[in-house]
Structure 1
Amino acid sequence: MSQAISDYPTTGSALRRASLRLDASWRQVLRAPLVLGLLVVLALQLVLALFLSRGASMAPAATDITLLSFEPEQIATIRIDAGEGDASVTLTRGEAGWVLPELGDFPASGTRIDQLLDSLAALRRPLPVATSAAARTRFRVADDDFERRLTLRGKDGDIRTLIVGDSPGFRRLFARLDGEDAIYDLRLALFDLSAEADDWVSRDQLRLDRERITRVAGPDWTLRRDEAGNWQLQDQVKPPAEAVVGDLLTTLSALSYRGVLGLEEQPAHGLETPLLTLDIELADGSGRRYRIGELEAGEDYALRVGTTGPVYRLAAFDLGGLLDLSLARLAEPAQDGEEKNLPPST
């Protein structure tokens, strides 16, 4: 091209002059504030894209790794300590399921524990939100200042310990693995890591099969189920009030409780002079005696089966109408329109 221009001097000189004019105009355009601003933005975008591309290549190695690295079947013991006070709970996998050793191996809620272990096993290691010692204190995930310390143990010893702190939002908790600096924002709820034994007890230990109940006796009344399946009130000619008997059987078959007060009776339980004693017989010949007392605080009630075993805490709602049950209520006639199996009026 340079050879062609030299061959035609007049034409070459014109092109050089046009090029100089074009270069000058471009230089003026490039000096404009708007163009300079756009160039700066473009440069920043290129730097950011380069940074993100490098980060993306590293991210899978961080976020695809499990945080705690265990299988739920590995766990033999779970210990949860509260950061304030002396509250703590230990859950142990027994031969028949999960139990609470502090409560004489009282059955624990296997469903709730399995859900917790599944949630923990599914946690991924996200990018940390902080790593400094100051952040550990600020987020309450320090060794000596935390909301919960959760330790998972196998048959051969500790597997992992998770230190849990403040919550940045709904069902989110700051947490740190013991021995590591990285602090994470995890999808967990503090209630799922309760350090109170009552939050882990199984709630079905007092439940009965309604159809297996054949006799219920109170202080001055006895109900029996005859061979035809009908209930009779002892020493009474008329059948008992059907609705009252139905409510009684519903309450006894689904009796629940708020927690376990302990393994030994205390004067504060009110069981030495119970408010109510119930004897229950089942179809297989076995039976239970319930003693129900009012707690000293006056808000809830204590129940014990016989003279051994745990003392349960019940609310008035759990007892239904048991405390108001009497011979008069069981024997009261049905109201008009409530009688069943009567011939139609003519």
Structure 2
Amino acid sequence: MNRAITLLMIVLIVQVIAAVTLTQSQQHFDTFEANQPLLSATISDADTLRISVADEDTEAAQTEFVLNKNNGSWQIANRDGFPADNAQVQRLIEKLIHLKKSWPVATSAAAAKRFKTDAGNYQKKIVLARGEQTLATLYIGTSPGFKKVHARVEGDSNIYAIEFSTYEASNKANRWLDRSQLTINRDEISQVELPTFTLKRVSDEDENALTISDLKENESIESAQLEQLQQLLSQLAKINFTDVIGKKIANVAVGEPAFGYTVHLKSGQQIRYDFFSISGKKDYQLITSADDYLFTVDAGTVEKLQQSSRDTFISTKIAPVTATNVEQPDTGQTSALMAPENSADIPPSDADSDAGLERQTTKPGNP
């Protein structure tokens, strides 16, 4: 009897403990509301965005990637203030603004380390600030599924599974470059001077009206060659660079350029492009008079431009062969087709002499 009472008491105590635990948990989650913004809307006012990655071995933050907003435009601090792709930065900020809370997957400090959303152990950390004021800090961790990551906001123990891809917050500077920085409007080009030929504009109304200058009468540009020429112009007007090294004043390339060309604009401005081959590196370094930065360009791009020659884009017409334009070889003999000026100057042959003798000895009427 006493044993049964003891067992009942134990069961009752367990139920009470479970009830208290559930009540506390319920009170904790009662403060949580799903589908609420994960971050404060004030991040739209950010003028600084920092992205860092924690090293898996040392758990120490690597060099931060930093974007600063200056006069309404985003710049890459890690590239001496080179212009960033404003649309790309804005897309990331809009993405962060529209992130929603889901039901927390965990809340403990141990879980934060396990899901790599801890302040000392994370896969990525995104910090948005305005001036000296930090607006939000978001820790991005492991992925529970396709296009989802575990995330935690600094100051909140809740860990959420949110829809986000880590590539959207790349910490590599060359992923954020404004690729249009070396783009020229083809309508504004009046002339391009290449090493072996020059392109000149023949019409102000057509962007494709740049053609090879000084074409000879027997030279022309066929349709297939014209298409190749337009492709070349597209490459010359928009250089696809791979990265920015920094200000060219501090990182100037040395030696003679391996290739170069000059673009003349209708405004009178001339832009010079010089490509330098760097020993031990595949890429070329580019210096242009239109920009203060030193660029790197893929070797394939430069070599393709180097291979462009005048003969690639023109066809030569061969004049038809006629008797009037063929020079006769000088053999020292008179052509049989040409009659002599005085036939008396030609001595008679033996056959002609015999025929004349016969005419003289034969009388009319003789057989």
Task: Assess same fold via TM > 0.5.
Answer: yes
- Is 1:174 matched up with 2:150? yes
Q: Aligned pair in 2 of structure 1 residues 216, 151: CA closer, same or farther (>3 Å)? A: same
SS in 2 for 1:204: helix
Q: Aligned pair in 2 of structure 1 residues 73, 132: CA closer, same or farther (>3 Å)? A: closer
CA distance in 2, matches of 1:254, 1:306: 15
C-alpha contact 2:44 2:97 (8 A) present in aligned 1: no
| Correspondence for 2:91 | 115
C-alpha contact 2:116 2:122 (8 A) present in aligned 1: yes
Q: How many residues align?
A: 283
Q: CA deviation at 1:270?
A: 6.5
Pick aligned residue for 2:34 from 47, 63, 72: 63
Matches within 5 A, 1:239-278: 242-264=226-248, 272-278=255-261
CA distance in 2, matches of 1:308, 1:154: 29
C-alpha contact 1:146 1:163 (8 A) present in aligned 2: yes
CA distance in 2, matches of 1:305, 1:86: 32
Give the % identical residues: 24
Which of the pair has more CA radius of gyration?
Answer: 2
Matches within 5 A, 1:54-203: 61-84=32-55, 86-155=62-131, 157-203=133-179
CA distance in 2, matches of 1:142, 1:296: 44
Task: Return the structure number with greater helix share.
Answer: 1
CA distance in 1, matches of 2:168, 2:239: 25
SS in 1 for 2:33: helix
Q: Aligned pair in 2 of structure 1 residues 127, 148: CA closer, same or farther (>3 Å)? A: same
Quote the RMSD (CA, aligned, Å).
3.2
Q: CA deviation at 1:119?
A: 0.9
CA distance in 1, matches of 2:118, 2:244: 32
CA distance in 2, matches of 1:176, 1:96: 30
| Correspondence for 1:20 | none
| Correspondence for 2:292 | 309
Q: CA deviation at 1:117?
A: 0.8
| Correspondence for 2:263 | 280
Q: TM-score, normalised by structure 2?
A: 0.68
Q: Aligned pair in 2 of structure 1 residues 334, 91: CA closer, same or farther (>3 Å)? A: farther
* Uncovered stretches (5+) of structure 2, i.e. residues with no partner: 1-21, 56-60, 319-367
Greater shift after overlay, 173-182 or 184-193? Answer: 173-182
Q: Match for 2:126: what amino acid?
A: L
* Uncovered stretches (5+) of structure 1, i.e. residues with no partner: 1-50, 336-346
Q: Aligned pair in 2 of structure 1 residues 308, 209: CA closer, same or farther (>3 Å)? A: closer
Q: Aligned pair in 2 of structure 1 residues 247, 192: CA closer, same or farther (>3 Å)? A: same
SS in 2 for 1:181: coil
Deviations 1:197-252 (A, max 9, x none): 11111111111111211111122322222357754545552456534432221212
Q: CA deviation at 1:326?
A: 2.2
Q: CA deviation at 1:133?
A: 2.1
C-alpha contact 1:293 1:303 (8 A) present in aligned 2: yes
C-alpha contact 1:72 1:118 (8 A) present in aligned 2: no
| Correspondence for 1:300 | 283
Q: TM-score, normalised by structure 1?
A: 0.71
CA distance in 2, matches of 1:139, 1:131: 11
Q: Match for 2:298: what amino acid?
A: A
Q: Aligned pair in 2 of structure 1 residues 123, 307: CA closer, same or farther (>3 Å)? A: closer
Q: CA deviation at 1:289?
A: 0.8
CA distance in 2, matches of 1:296, 1:72: 45
Q: Aligned pair in 2 of structure 1 residues 94, 261: CA closer, same or farther (>3 Å)? A: same
Q: CA deviation at 1:159?
A: 0.5
Q: CA deviation at 1:330?
A: 4.2
Deviations 1:73-104 (A, max 9, x none): 31111010111263421111121411112323
